[in-house]
Structure 1
């Protein structure tokens, strides 16, 4: 159906498909249970997308809570990062940090991810620095930035390493889009639903590796934020 999709609609669908598959791939790599992915794009370029991710995890210690929060922030960052991956197959698969930041802070749906990130950042910082005086605003801001920078770099590494899988899954999602019949008016909406079992059967999903939140090379950085 994508060969009949208007180019502008297809381009928007491609971007949002990458966004949702960025969430999906990073969540799966970091050990979250994943479900289905959906995407809807209208002729006037309005869109909705979603990747089902279970937040149910056993947390038996403060350390486990810290790692869960770090992983969750990384999953939230991943969508905007994946959305900036270049569309040309020959281009280097690199995240555009400026564009990703704009997407997170913009008004295209990702601002909900950003609001969650901001709240979780403070919770993570409160755990890392339980004795902080609330009046030390500049120090708190510096601590938040240092934590965010480390999480950003780790997420970017995963996105760029898994860029081919993200692109393959996003392409499959867009290729599966069909125009929805509308009773009493012209059809103007393309949509697709990939259920969890459908995704589980895809080679690109099966190839997603299980990754730790932090690699050995990141251990020093992690110690700095405790």
Structure 2
């Protein structure tokens, strides 16, 4: 079906598909249960898309809470990063940081992800640095930056390591898009979904490694999830 899709529409569809697959792949790598991934796109480049991720999990300690918040923030960062992947096969896949930042800041549609990140990082800072005086705005700003920078870099490492998986799944989603028909006539809208069942059977999905949120954070000790 996508053979007839105009190149500009397909290019946009691939970016959005990569964004959703960024959320999906990093969520799986960090141990979240995942469902299907869907994408709808119109000829004038409006889109709706989503990756189903189960946020319910047992949290019985502050340490588990911190791990959950870090993982959730990384999943939210991963969409913009995957959308900003510069696929250069010679030097490997690199996240275009200015583009990823622009996507998150809402210039290209991921402002909801960024709003959630901004909220969650305050909660994470509150429990990571409970001794900080709430009136010490400079110190709080520095702690927020430390958390954000560390999780950004950690997410970037995972997204770049799994770039081929993300782009492969994004392409599979776009390749499955079909034109929506209404009353027997084609509309200007393409839509498609990779269901949980279909995704679970794909080799690319089965090969996603489990990653610890804490890896690379030596000051957290040898905590393993």
Note whether the superposition's TM-score is higher than 0.5: yes
TM-score (norm. length: structure 2)? 0.94
CA RMSD in angstroms, aligned pairs only: 1.5
Q: Which residue of 1 aligns with 2:92?
A: 92
Structure 1, unaligned runs of 5 or more: none
Q: 1:166 maps to what in 2?
A: 166
| Alpha-carbon distance in structure 2 between the residues aligned to 1:210 and 1:42 | 35
Structure 1 stretch displaced more, 122-131 or 178-187: 178-187
Partner of 2:104: 104
The secondary structure found in structure 2 opposite 1:86 is: strand
> Map of 1:30-45 to 2, 5 A cutoff?
30-45=30-45
Contact 1:17 1:39 (C-alpha < 8 Å) held by counterparts: yes
Give 3-state SS (helix, strand or coil) of 1:51's partner. Answer: strand
CA contact (8 A) 2:21 2:79 kept: yes
More strand by share: 2
- 2:157 maps to 157
User: Residues 27 and 33 of structure 2 are in contact (CA less than 8 Å); yes or no, is this contact kept in structure 1?
Assistant: yes
Cα shift at 1:130? 1.6
In the TM superposition, what whole-angstrom CA distance separates every residue of 1:39-78 from its partner, at most 9, and x where no partner exists? 0110000011100000011111110000000000000000
Distance 2:33 2:106 in 1: 28
Aligned partners of 1:211 and 1:92: how far apart in 2?
A: 20
Q: How far, CA to CA, are the matches of 1:166 and 1:90 in structure 2? A: 18
Is the CA contact (8 Å cut-off) linking 1:154 and 1:214 kept in structure 2?
Answer: no
Count of aligned positions: 221
Distance 1:129 1:169 in 2: 38
In structure 1, C-alpha distance between the alignment counterparts of 2:182 and 2:12, rounded to whole Å = 21
Which residue of structure 2 lines up, in the alignment, with residue 218 of structure 1? 217
Q: State the TM-score, normalized to the length of structure 1.
A: 0.93
TM-superposition CA deviations, 1:71-126 (whole Å, max 9, x none): 00000000000001125555630001111000000243310000000000000000
Find the counterpart in structure 2 of residue 50 from structure 1.
Answer: 50
The residue number in structure 2 matching 1:4 is 4
Q: State the match for 1:203 in structure 2.
A: 203
Aligned pair in 2 of structure 1 residues 107, 182: CA closer, same or farther (>3 Å)? farther
The question of whether the paired residues in 2 share the 8 Å contact of 1:34 and 1:196 is answered with yes
Q: Which residue pairs with 1:116 in the alignment?
A: 116
CA-CA distance at 1:138 after TM superposition: 1.1
Cα deviations by residue, 1:161-181 (Å, 9 ceiling, x for unpaired): 001111110110000000101
Alignment gaps of 5+ in structure 2: none
For 1:125 and 1:183, how far apart are their aligned partners in 2? Answer: 53
Output the CA distance in 2 between the equivalents of 1:197 and 1:141.
43
Structure 1 segments of 4+ aligned residues over 3 angstroms from their partners? 87-91, 183-186
The whole-number CA distance in structure 1 between the counterparts of 2:179 and 2:81 is: 28
CA distance in 2, matches of 1:28, 1:76: 13
